[in-house]
Amino acid sequence: MTAANILSKIKENFPEAVLDMTEFAGEQILHVRGPDILTLLTKLKADGFNFLADLTAIDNLTLGGYERFAVSYHLLCHQTGERLTVKAYIPEEKPSLPSVESLWKTADWQEREVFDLYGIKFEGHPNLIRIMNPDDFEGYPLRKDYPRLGRKERSDFPVVDRGIQKKKS
Amino acid sequence: MTRVTELPLETDKMVLNFGPQHPSTHGTLRIIMELDGETVTKATPEIGYLHSGFEKLGEDLDFNQYITITDRMNYLSPLCNNVAYALAAEKLIGIEVSKRTEYIRVLMCELSRIADHLLNVGMLAVDLGALTAFLYGFKLREDIYDLFEIATGTRLTTSYTLVGGLMRDIPDGYDKAVLKVLDEVDKVANDIETLLNKNRIWQDRTKKIGIISKEDAISYGITGPMARATGIEWDIRVNEPYSSYEDFEFDVAIALNGDVFDRYLVRMEEIRQSIKICRQSLEKMPSGDVIVDPGLGYSLPPKDEVYNSIEGLIYHFEVTMPNRGMTPPVGEAYVPTESPNGELGFYIVSDGNRTPYRVRTRPPSLMNYSIFSKLIEGHMLSDAPAIIGSINVIAGELDR
Amino acid sequence: MVQDDIKSNVLTTTLESAINWGRKNSLWPMPFGTACCGIEFMAVLAARTDLARFGAEAIRFSPRQSDLLIVAGRISIKMMPVLIRIYEQIPEPKWVMSMGACASTGGVFDTYSVIQGIDQFIPVDVYVPGCPPRPEGVVEGFIKLQDLVGKEKLADYAPAPAK
């Protein structure tokens, strides 16, 4: 089945879940509601998109979109070589959506990364802890309202001296 | 009386911290391993020790400025990163580059691939106690650095591509220099294989170690030489050709066992295929310009014009000034490329400003490394360096 | 006769310069390579540049066996506690070389998670500029460091007065 067929079938079968379908620069993008993502991806996987190439998130604070956060899944079908982007939208008040770790093991670390950098929770993830930043890090650095230079975490360390007398020359 | 050696050996569970500062972690990996004697029963990798906020930085730099940052991502083959990012930006903006640009990019990518694989095989050998292969490989890597230096001006952080072209054309006589190095590569690849392939210690330490099955490779998102070593015939250069890869004839190296030894073999074979591609690209090199032009407001004008003519200078300012130039369409583009480690993808979201709204890298190292805890379970502690070495984890790309 | 023998066979010097001579020509570096500079540091050790010519080929990855810490690469906020710990584990006398722009100033990575110069927190003796520095640059920095080691005063190594 080609991607176009699969997509039209998806839209037929899940009219409530699918918000929109767009195309940009030759890429198909499927916009869906967050809570339905697991059902949809299970279907897409069964239809041939067997490889989750990438999972990431976008903060739509100034870009605009259906909701504040979009989690995007880049799927690949090894059979036909077609790619598909699925974007799941979730609101700021309740940033959570089902985990797809049960479908692809690669989602484990990638969902942890999204959690670490955006604070999006994945329900059903076996071990949702920070992956990139230290455990005591506060805030979610890739959100648009987090300053690039951080909140002083990079200057908060003890100063060590040599412990011996050294004359200043 | 019983001899001590005849008593049953009882061992307690031990927790061992491995890294983040350890010679065989290639930088900054940390693994917490539970050991039963010398057998690893559970391993938990801890990453993020080189997290430097690449993606946050990308939101503040314009399309051309970010190319300098991509160098520092996979520092074994920076040119592949440059090219991947430029391709993603060009797809988003809708720029077609000239054929010559594409061929030079292919040449540079393949030279990087050779250098990357040579260093990877060398480091794997060092970790397993064979220093000679590393020295052979590194000597050649220096020669390839020289080639990069001739073309780009620097050894490692090349920043050679621009959105819409290349920083500069390759100089005259470059093909001769490249061919000379390629001959050398051929010889050294043979030397390394003679040293290692039939070496008893090498075989004992790499065969049947860290076996990945085909299903696991797909589930864990593994790509590149690691996936091809399990028998998955998927090479983006062939299956989804970019940058004129369809013009070149080469074979995709695959192996069937998926162990450390097979990954090594696949890498060695890819070196040979890359030599082939390099030779073809030099033979067929089309003539023409390497910067498409301008007018679009993305590529900087050649430095000669900037320094010597008023128009060039004005145009330079037009491109670099914050409120001029660079008005990409609102949209998003994901471009996958075949980097030496696997699928390196850039995902750029633009809101129409001169800086991208979001720059995401699909790092092959992250996905490849995520299977590590599964691979090491049941193996000996001393197999950990072999498996890490064969995965070729690049911390800069892993943590970004 | 005896006088001549002494003249040709015996060298008189101070204890200080003899020790410094020994130290500066047998520095044992510990590379704390995290990123791109780590790869260039490998090039420094490999055949073409060969740091062994300056007596520093004994690379030790254990801080307790080394006396020169080479910080090569950017240090993130997660890595900084590790670096401080490793620095504290190196026995005296010890020197630190900050290799590359990232270790010295944060380099291009002006972001929330990169330390803007390790010298804010640990003492640094030699800075090598470059992103990454060329191997020749590292060797230059290394020679500068050798000069520094040669000028050390033994009296400086008295324990610090109680605060």
At B131, the pLDDT band (50, 70, 90 cuts) reads confident
For tokens 């003539």, the residue is B287
- DSSP annotation of B322: T
Task: Report CA torsion sign: A103, A105, A110, A113.
Answer: positive
Query: Closest by alpha carbon to C73, among C114, C45, C113?
Result: C114
Question: In this complex, which chains have at least 3 CB pairs below 8 Å with chain C?
Answer: A, B
Q: What is the mean pLDDT of chain B?
A: 85
Per-residue confidence (pLDDT) for residue C32, from 0 to 100: 86
Asked if C91 reaches chain A (Cβ–Cβ under 8 Å), the answer is no
The amino acid sitting at A148 is: R
Domain count across chain B: 1
Q: Reply yes or no on whether the pLDDT at A35 is more than 50.
A: yes
Q: Which residues of C touch B72 (CB under 8 A)?
A: 35-36, 108
**How far is the C-alpha of C79 from the C-alpha of C115, rounded, in Å?**
9
Q: Which residue of A has its CA nearest to B333?
A: A25
3-state helix, strand, coil in chain C (%, to 5): 45, 15, 40
pLDDT band at C1 (very low <50, low <70, confident <90, very high): low
- C3: Cβ contacts below 8 Å, ≥ 6 apart: none
Q: Quick check: A154 and C114 CB within 8 A?
A: yes
Residue type, B384: A
Q: Which residue has the higher pLDDT, B134 or A164?
A: B134
**CB pair distance less than 8 Å for C35 and B142:** no
pLDDT value at residue A169: 44
**Which chain B residue lies closest to C36 (C-alpha atoms)?**
B75
Which of A152-156, B68-72, B151-155, C105-109 has the weakest average pLDDT?
A152-156
B273 in any annotated domain: yes
Of B168 and C137, which is predicted with more confidence?
C137
Q: How far is CA A82 from CA A77, A86, B281, in A?
A: 5, 13, 28
Angular region, B280: left φ>0, alpha ψ -120 to 50, beta rest: alpha
Q: Are B35 and B18 in contact (CB under 8 A)?
A: no
How would DSSP label each residue in B69-122?
Answer: HHHTTSTTSHHHHHHHHHHHHHHHHTPPPPHHHHHHHHHHHHHHHHHHHHHHHH
Tell me which residue range forms the domain holding B151: 78-349
In a domain, B196, yes or no: yes
Instruction: For residue A164, name the pLDDT band (cuts at 50, 70, 90).
Output: low
Distance from CA of A37 to the nearest CA of B (A): 18
Q: What CATH number did the domain enclosing B83 receive? A: 1.10.645.10
Share of chain C above pLDDT 70, in %: 95
Give the three-state DSSP class for B375: helix
Q: How many CB pairs under 8 A join A and B?
A: 98
Cα distance between residue B258 and residue B208, in whole Å: 8
DSSP labels for B10-27? ---EEEEEE-SS-GGGTS
User: Which residues, at least 6 apart from B134, have a Cβ–Cβ distance to it below 8 Å?
Assistant: B122, B123, B125, B126, C46
The reported pLDDT for the residue numbered B61 is 85
Q: Give the nearest partner residue to B396 out of C36, C40, C111, using CB atoms.
A: C36
Is B39 a member of any domain? no
Cα gap B45→B30, rounded to integer Å: 6
Q: Are A104 and A128 in contact (CB under 8 A)?
A: no
Q: Where are the domains of chain A?
A: 6-143
Per-residue pLDDT at A156 exceeds 70: yes
Residue A71 CA to residue B347 CA, distance in Å, equals 13
Q: How many Å apart are CA B202 and CA A129, to the nearest integer?
A: 38
Identify the three-state secondary structure at position A154: helix
Please write the tens of the pLDDT for every residue from B15-36.
888 878 776 666 688 888 888 8
Cα dihedral sign, C78-C82-C88-C90: negative
Instruction: Give the span between the Cα atoms of A130 and A126, in whole angstroms.
Output: 13
CATH topology of domain A6-143: Beta Polymerase; domain 2 (3.30.460)
Model pLDDT for residues B81-117, shown as the tens digit of each residue: 999 998 998 888 888 888 888 899 999 999 999 989 9
Section B155-174 average pLDDT: 85
Give the residue with greater pLDDT, B76 vs B298.
B76
Domain-embedded: residue B29: no
**Reported confidence tier of residue B325, pLDDT bands at 50, 70, 90:** low
Instruction: Compare all CA atoms of chain A with the CA of C151 and give the residue at the minimum distance.
Output: A169
Q: B390 in a domain, yes or no?
A: no
Cα angle B298, B299, B305 (rounded to 5 degrees) comes to 135
Q: Is residue B151 part of a domain?
A: yes
Query: What integer is the mean pLDDT of B288-293?
Result: 72
The strands making up C126-128's β-sheet, listed across from edge to edge, are: C29-33, C68-72, C95-99, C126-128
Which of A117-126, A127-136, A151-160 shows the lowest mean pLDDT across its residues? A151-160
C-alpha B104/C-alpha B286 separation (Å) is 9
- Summarize the confidence of residues B49-63 as an average pLDDT: 86
Name the residue in chain A with its Cα closest to that of C87: A160
Assigned domain for B391 exists: no
Its ipTM equals 0.88
Assess A159–C contact: CB distance below 8 Å, yes or no: yes
Confidence of residue B300 (pLDDT cuts 50, 70, 90): confident
CB neighbour class for B246 (10 Å; exposed up to 12, middle 13-18, buried from 19): exposed
SS3 call for C96: strand
> Which residues are within 8 A (CB) of B388 and not within 5 positions of it... i.e. 6 or more apart?
B24, B25, B26, B29, B127, B372
- Mean pLDDT of the residues in chain C: 85
The mean per-residue pLDDT over the stretch A72-77 comes to 90
As a whole number of angstroms, the distance between CA B151 and CA B259 comes to 37
Look at residue B270 and tell me if it is in a domain. yes
CB contact under 8 A, A155 and C158: no
Region of residue B352 (phi > 0: left; psi between -120 and 50: alpha; otherwise: beta): left
**Partner residue facing C86 (CB), from B21, B51, B68:** B21
The shortest C-alpha distance from B326 to chain A (Å) reads 18
**pLDDT, average across residues B146-150:** 89
Look at residue B296 in the predicted model and tell me its pLDDT.
64
- Residues in chain B whose beta carbon is closer than 8 A to a beta carbon of chain C? 20-23, 27-28, 48-53, 56-57, 68-69, 71-72, 75-76, 119, 134-135, 138-139, 141-142, 145, 155-157, 395-396, 399
Question: Span C43-70, mean pLDDT?
Answer: 84
Residue for token pair 């001296």: A161
Closest residue, chain A, to C157 (C-alpha): A164
> Could you give the 3-state DSSP secondary structure of residue B144?
helix
